[in-house]
Amino acid sequence: MAQRRQKFETTLNSWVGGDINELIMAWGAPTGVYKMPNQNTVFTWQTAGGMPTPEGGELMISCKISIFTDPRGRIFSWRWEGNGCV
Sheet hosting strand 75-81, strand order edge to edge? 32-35, 41-52, 58-69, 75-81
pLDDT tens track of the chain, all 86 residues? 789 999 999 999 999 999 999 999 999 999 999 999 999 999 999 999 988 888 888 989 999 999 999 999 999 999 999 998 88
Could you tell me if residue 86 is inside a domain? no
Listed residue (21, 59, 60, 58) closest to 41, CA to CA: 21
pLDDT value at residue 65: 97
pLDDT value at residue 53: 87
Contact 41, 33 (CB under 8 A): yes
pTM check: above 0.85: yes
pLDDT value at residue 24: 98
SS3 16: coil
CATH number at residue 9: 3.30.1450
Could you tell me if residue 29 is inside a domain? yes
Domain of 58 in residue numbering reads as 2-81
Domain count, the chain: 1
